[in-house]
Amino acid sequence: MALTLLLLVPLVAAIVLLAMPAAAALDRVISLGASVVTAALGIFVVWAGDSVDVPWIRSLGIRWHFAVDGISAALVLLTVLLVVGVVLHALAGPTPSGGSRSTYLGAIMLVETGALATFLARDAILFFIAFEVVLVPMWLLIRRFGDDHVADETRADAAGRFVLFTVFGSTLMLIGILLLVSHQGTSDLEALARMHGAGLSHSLEVAIAAILLTGLAVKVPLWPLHTWLPSAHTIAPTAGSVLLAAVLLKMGTYGIVRLAVAAVPEGVIALSPILAVLGAVGVIWGGLACLVERDLKRLIAYSSVAHMGFIAIALASGSHTGLQAALFANIAHGIVSALLFFLVGDLKEQWGSADLSTPRVALRDRAPRFGVAFVFGLAAALGLPGLVSFWGEFLSLYAAWSPAEGVNVGVLRGTVVVGAIGLALAAAYSLRVARILWAGEGAPETAGEVTPAGAREAASEVVVDERGIRWGVVLVLIAVMVTLGVLPHLLLTISEMDAAALLTGVTR
Amino acid sequence: MTWVVRLIVLLPALAGLAGLLTRRRRAVSAGIAVGTATAVALLALAQWANPLRTADIDSFGGLPLLDLSVPLHLLSDRLSGLVSFVVAVVVLAIQVFTVWYLREDKRYGQFSATVSLFAAGMLLVVQSADLALTLVGWEIMGWCSWLLIGHDTERYAARRAAYKAFIVTRFADIGMVIGLVALAVRAGSTDLLDVLTVAESDGLLTVGLIGVLIGVAGKSGLFPFHDWLPDAMEGPTPASALIHAATMVAAGSYVVARFFPLYAVDDAARLLLAVLAAVTMVYAAVLAFAQSDVKRLLAYSTLSQIAIMLGALAAAPVEVGAAPAISHLIGHAFFKALLFLGVGWLAVLAGGTAVAKLRGQLRPRGALRWSIAIGLAALAGIPPFIGFFTKETVIDAAFEGVAEGVGIGAWLVLVALLVTVVLTAAYCTRAWLLLDGPLQARGSGSATDSAAAEPGDADTLAPEPAVAGSHGAGHADHAPITLPAALSVAALAVLSVVGTLFLLGVKDAVHVGLSTAVLSVLLIAGAALAVWVASRRGHDDAADRLPAAVLAAAPRGFGADGVYARFGLGVVALARVVVMLDRDVVDAYPRATAVTARGLGRIGERAHRAIPSLALVGLVVGVGLVVGLGVATWL
């Protein structure tokens, strides 16, 4: 019951918001109310371990089957809580140009619906449908509400890229799902996990795994299928970037765990060297690109490619530690990238661009709240212990060094070395950003003293510090980051048993 | 009693957080910083006086992983108790001193909070019984060092030095991470005891130990990672004292000491340790002698002294163990903190840390003069100061290592130690003669002047006026020192004299051989005499006797910075290639797909225009013909 409501509340809210006239003032109440109620329901569902299972399309044997378990619980919580933050953040500032606020909020709620349904779905076909629901509202956010400082074609290109890449990926995924379902005779994900690949010939299993992994790799995104991400992130409004990084990318890794690792384990193990190598290339590729990238939003997007690379390495290890590390790093990246995109979005709102080569004031002095928040965000981005990302990355390197039986040890150990180099690169680019934004590298050296006010400096001197609700959202994210960094078990225990069950094919 | 161990780590961490929240109110943040440092010192004293001897104190519970045990335990034994106590005392002295030193700094709150967090990181490394926790403390220190060195973010040199420090150490941490992972994989656990009990030598052990060693070389500034440390002098003097004396750089020695049983059975890793330590020991001491800035002189001496500790670990036989290294760590913590705070104090009075500024400034300063005298004497290893005992213990351990067949590494370390004794005495004598010499010496030599104008910063693009290159310079009109700050310096001076007593409780921590002691005293006296003569009884700078080329290159660390910068530029060039590939190759396929699809669409569109095509016309005509023919035939 609660679970159905959890999906219906944001869906109904989205429909109402999209349908209501632009002038109506109720959108504030509806969106906020719906997101808070959804969050409460989400917490309840996770706590109660709720599930719903009724026949849906009888002729195809597809069931309306949703449930929550240790693998998805943290992602559900992340989604529902983050959407509250996104809505609060959106209401606390001007709506991006391109449409009415109610449409903007409606798109956010629709993304939430699709994401929740994806994380909760226990039927492969249902999973696919939910996976696709997210596309349209996200396209809307990028296409219509995207950065209005760039030409319309650029927005069209970013939105088109996002949709076409993702649809290409999900088409492959659908083929994989259909192959799997037709051979196993069921689309029930729990049954598929219980079968654990039994009854499939090895080559068929590898083929299905290859199709599924390729399809999902677009969403993650893994190198070399990542080129939609930077443009989508750069153009998307703050809410879009946050949801994209924190929720949508996670659907990719979650799909790998739920569909591929659980249902075709041998295939994944056979392909794990490729998965690990692509992840490792992504770590280095993203890290290097961040060293010279000038647009801060693009930079964070490339750092996402690097962080998701670690998750791929962890998944490739096939061990329990690896799976735990991947699930943890998933959440960690969600929180950290959400924080960074909130901050950059707010700065971009003021500055009109997020170009690092423009000389700016030192945030440390002129906007200390921005400054502190950036220091925390960037420290987390480079994997500083005590903040959330460290555990995911450290444990994935451990897992890759001692992978599960059957996984190519030599290749995996190579990726450990590459991953460790990626950590150093992360430090280099994070501090590069800190040096420019926080310490004001490139700003006039004599700030605060008498300077001949050049026109260029004067334009960038204006920066209003974070305050009010937006500052509150940022503070909460920082608090979560520190809490989970100090107490990683809070997350790891949620997924411990189900991760073990998923790897062995034993249902609890 | 286990809560004492936990509190020693927890309190400074909380103080760091609280200090950050109250950073606007100077009195409150000062109260928090000093109060916590005092409390931690007392707790550490309690722990040291009454050690628990346990290695399974729960910190916050183990991690739920099925194929890896991560208990996250803390340990407590005599060694950790003593080192935590020393760290806590030095941190306390630094916090008290900072209240005065940064009195006019608008970022005092952030600074003291960061020092607290830094202390938490170091104390965590000291108390950690888990590889993961060691890495946590290790990285936290690195991050705090970035914040502290870059305290004056207005200055380009400070930003650059902070960046350099963090990147160089983090680069070395590639090794650290891989090493710790390899060690954990060997034992299937990150618990220190589990890791240590799997003692047989194998390939994985060598990889692990060499990896850890590379990480240690980064943080402790072993060659070739040494060059970040002198640049780190851009930070305020208390930060330098903290980084150099009891934390960060010393943490490496402590970590290797904890792994000593493993290093003892792995010849490859141990030989590498010996070579790096021996090279750094001598090389840094030579550089120290030729510096034209007193803070940088101290920085190079730190490198050399840390290498002595690591040398002890490389050369000591198994029975002697890690105690000599730890005792030198403790002695060094006292006298180096003393020297940094003393020189910081002097720099405030004199308005800079360049030799040209400080020359002769010490003579009229009473207590400060005595403090620095004690510090330099302890550094040089003159009896009865603590440096003498700890250094002699190390030399003795190296002798025993040679005698008991530790191998070529022990020989190397022993020779390097004796050379370093001479060099250390030489640069200490030079520093003393300069600081305490006649106020206005004969023209101090143009080489010294030009080098002093820009204290060692290889980057000539530094935009600030040449004199402001180092932190102390801005404090010419600083308030006179307060009693607590002066007392903290005095306390460190006292500890540099009587600190040896602390070491007596630890087995093998003080072990002075008579013949080696006589030998090194003779070496020290000879070196001091030679410098005294070379400086014409203190009227000249002894370093001026060095070849001009050496004198010009030494303040810049013989161009190591340039090598690092070139490496960095290489990486950036690679990054540009990657971006280019990303745009022109990886993304070319999607774009080509789009172009192809659009092209196909155009073709299709053209094929379906409303204008009748030739084929259609042909078809209609053909059909008409056929129909016409058929009709005609039928008729």
Q: Which of A281, A396, A398 to mutate to test the interface with B (most CBs of B within 10 A)?
A: A398
What value of ipTM does the predicted structure carry? 0.88
Q: Determine the average pLDDT of the residues in B509-536.
A: 84
Q: Determine the average pLDDT of the residues in B453-477.
A: 40
Q: What is the pLDDT of residue A340?
A: 93
Q: What is the pLDDT of residue B459?
A: 38
Q: What is the pLDDT of residue B275?
A: 93
Rounded CA Rg of chain B = 31
Three-class secondary structure of residue A390 per DSSP: helix
- Give the pairing type, strands B73-76 and B54-58: antiparallel
- Which residues of chain B lie closer than 8 angstroms to A164, CB-CB? 590, 594
Closest CA to A116 of A209, A213, A50, A166: A50
**Is the whole model's pTM more than 0.80, yes or no?**
yes
- Which residues of chain A lie closer than 8 angstroms to B154, CB-CB? 362, 445, 447
Return the domain boundaries, chain A: 2-504
Terminal CA-CA length for chain A? 22
More confident residue, A103 or B451: A103
Which amino acid, residue B81? G
pLDDT-derived band of residue B468, with 50, 70 and 90 as boundaries? very low
pLDDT-derived band of residue A448, with 50, 70 and 90 as boundaries? very low
DSSP string, B206-240: HHHHHHHHHHHHHHTT-TTSTTHHHHGGGS-HHHH
Q: Determine the average pLDDT of the residues in B63-92.
A: 86
CB atoms within 10 A of CB B44: 29
Q: Residue B574: closest CA among chain A residues belongs to which residue?
A: A288
Closest CA to B474 of B344, B295, B351: B351
- Which residues of chain B lie closer than 8 angstroms to A398, CB-CB? 68, 181, 184-185
Three-class secondary structure of residue A418 per DSSP: helix
Beta-bridge mates of residue A67: A51
Identity of the residue in B166, B574, B578 whose CB atom sits nearest the CB atom of A427 = B166
Q: What is the pLDDT of residue A507?
A: 61
Q: What is the pLDDT of residue B48?
A: 84
A-B CB pairs within 8 A amount to 142
Q: Determine the average pLDDT of the residues in B51-68.
A: 79
Percent of chain B at pLDDT exceeding 90:
19
Identity of the residue in A379, A423, A439 whose CB atom sits nearest the CB atom of B153 = A439
Closest CA to B575 of A276, A428, A313: A428
Decide: B83 and B254 in contact? Cβ < 8 Å: yes
Are A228 and B185 an interchain contact pair (Cβ–Cβ within 8 Å)?
Answer: no
Q: What is the pLDDT of residue B319?
A: 85
Is residue B293 pLDDT above 60, yes or no?
yes
Is residue A455 pLDDT above 50, yes or no?
no
- Which residues of chain A lie closer than 8 angstroms to B113, CB-CB? none
Give the integer Cα–Cα distance in Å for B166 and B470: 19
Is residue B512 pLDDT above 90, yes or no?
no
Give the integer Cα–Cα distance in Å for B291 and B555: 5
Closest CA to A320 of A504, A51, A159: A504
Closest CA to B91 of B37, B145, B29, B30: B37
List of residues 6+ apart from B634 with CB closer than 8 A: none
The answer to which of A205-209, B45-49, B305-309, B363-367 has the lowest mean pLDDT is B363-367
Beta-bridge mates of residue B73: B58
Closest-CA distance, B572 to chain A, in angstroms, reads: 7
Is residue B454 pLDDT above 80, yes or no?
no
Is residue B608 pLDDT above 60, yes or no?
yes
Are A424 and B594 an interchain contact pair (Cβ–Cβ within 8 Å)?
Answer: no
Is residue B17 pLDDT above 50, yes or no?
yes
Q: Which of B66, B464, B598 to mutate to test the interface with A (most CBs of A within 10 A)?
A: B66
Taking each continuous run of H as one helix and of E as one strand, the counts in chain A are 23, 2
DSSP A434: I
Exposure pattern of A312-324 as b/e (b: 16+ CB <10 Å)?
bbbbbbbbbbbbb
CA distances from A236 to A86, A104, A463 (A): 14, 12, 22
pLDDT, tens only, B578-599? 888 888 888 888 888 888 988 9
Is residue A63 pLDDT above 90, yes or no?
no
Give the integer Cα–Cα distance in Å for B536 and B545: 11
DSSP B482: P
Closest-CA distance, A496 to chain B, in angstroms, reads: 6
Q: What is the pLDDT of residue B477?
A: 55
Which amino acid, residue A432? R
Decide: B68 and A398 in contact? Cβ < 8 Å: yes
Q: Determine the average pLDDT of the residues in B304-313.
A: 91
Closest-CA distance, B130 to chain A, in angstroms, reads: 14
Phi/psi zone of residue B508: left (φ > 0), alpha (ψ -120 to 50 degrees), beta? left
Q: Which of B22, B67, B147, B166 to mutate to test the interface with A (most CBs of A within 10 A)?
A: B67
Three-class secondary structure of residue B319 per DSSP: coil
Q: What is the pLDDT of residue B370?
A: 86
What is the average pLDDT score of chain B? 83
Q: Which of A223, A288, A324, A366 to mutate to test the interface with B (most CBs of B within 10 A)?
A: A288
DSSP A104: H
Q: Determine the average pLDDT of the residues in A297-315.
A: 92
Are A420 and B68 an interchain contact pair (Cβ–Cβ within 8 Å)?
Answer: no
Axis crossing angle, helix A70-91 with helix A27-48, rounded to the nearest 10: 160
Give the integer Cα–Cα distance in Å for B387 and B402: 22
Q: Determine the average pLDDT of the residues in B468-480.
A: 50
pLDDT-derived band of residue A508, with 50, 70 and 90 as boundaries? low
Q: What is the pLDDT of residue B461?
A: 35
DSSP A54: E
Decide: B154 and B106 in contact? Cβ < 8 Å: no
Closest CA to B142 of B252, B280, B66: B252
Q: Name the token pair of A502.
A: 């998923």
Q: Name the token pair of A96.
A: 């991006």
CA distances from A432 to A375, A435, A442, B163 (A): 12, 5, 12, 8
pLDDT-derived band of residue A450, with 50, 70 and 90 as boundaries? very low
- For residue A302, the surrounding DSSP H or E stretch is helix A296-317
Name residue, tokens 């020290």. B524
Closest CA to B490 of B367, B337, B339, B348: B367
Q: Determine the average pLDDT of the residues in A44-57.
A: 87
Chain centre to alpha carbon of residue A354:
21
Closest CA to A216 of A278, A290, A303: A278
Decide: A482 and A299 in contact? Cβ < 8 Å: no
Give the integer Cα–Cα distance in Å for A223 and A277: 9
pLDDT-derived band of residue A429, with 50, 70 and 90 as boundaries? very high
Q: What are phi and psi of B414, to 5 degrees?
A: -60, -50
Is residue B179 pLDDT above 60, yes or no?
yes
Give the integer Cα–Cα distance in Å for B472 and B235: 10
Q: Determine the average pLDDT of the residues in B394-420.
A: 87
Decide: A321 and B68 in contact? Cβ < 8 Å: yes
- For residue A32, the surrounding DSSP H or E stretch is helix A27-48
The answer to which of A262-266, A271-275, B21-25, B140-144 has the lowest mean pLDDT is B21-25
Are A447 and B154 an interchain contact pair (Cβ–Cβ within 8 Å)?
Answer: yes
Q: What is the pLDDT of residue B439?
A: 57
Identity of the residue in B64, B143, B590 whose CB atom sits nearest the CB atom of A227 = B590
Identity of the residue in A226, A292, A445 whose CB atom sits nearest the CB atom of B463 = A445
Q: Determine the average pLDDT of the residues in B390-404.
A: 88
Largest CA distance in chain A: 79
Q: What are phi and psi of B235, to 5 degrees?
A: -70, 165
Give the integer Cα–Cα distance in Å for B597 and B330: 72
Q: Residue A229: closest CA among chain B residues belongs to which residue?
A: B587
Decide: A153 and A90 in contact? Cβ < 8 Å: no
Peptide bond into A224 cis (omega under 30): yes
pLDDT-derived band of residue B464, with 50, 70 and 90 as boundaries? very low
Give the integer Cα–Cα distance in Å for B134 and B18: 24
Closest-CA distance, A285 to chain B, in angstroms, reads: 7
Q: What is the pLDDT of residue A309?
A: 92
pLDDT, tens only, A175-200? 999 999 888 888 888 888 888 888 88
Percent of chain A at pLDDT exceeding 90:
40
CA distances from B367 to A66, B359, B436, B488 (A): 77, 18, 13, 12
Closest-CA distance, B8 to chain A, in angstroms, reads: 16
Are B582 and A438 an interchain contact pair (Cβ–Cβ within 8 Å)?
Answer: no
CA distances from B186 to A319, B118, B178, B209, B514 (A): 16, 30, 12, 12, 43
- Which residues of chain A lie closer than 8 angstroms to B578, CB-CB? 285, 288-289
pLDDT, tens only, A209-254? 999 999 999 988 898 899 899 989 988 999 999 999 999 999 999 9
Identity of the residue in B62, B135, B575 whose CB atom sits nearest the CB atom of A385 = B135
CA distances from A133 to A57, A129, A219 (A): 18, 6, 14
Is residue A456 pLDDT above 70, yes or no?
no
Q: What is the pLDDT of residue B466?
A: 34
Q: What is the pLDDT of residue B462?
A: 35
pLDDT, tens only, A357-399? 877 777 887 888 888 899 999 999 998 888 898 998 899 999 9
Decide: B303 and B429 in contact? Cβ < 8 Å: no
- Which residues of chain B lie closer than 8 angstroms to A326, CB-CB? none
DSSP A67: E
Q: Residue A495: closest CA among chain B residues belongs to which residue?
A: B64
Decide: B119 and B88 in contact? Cβ < 8 Å: yes
Q: Residue B159: closest CA among chain A residues belongs to which residue?
A: A435
Helices marked H in B499-613: 500-503, 514-534, 548-553, 560-581, 588-607
What is the average pLDDT score of chain A? 87
List of residues 6+ apart from A188 with CB closer than 8 A: A63, A65, A122, A123, A124
Decide: B238 and B94 in contact? Cβ < 8 Å: yes
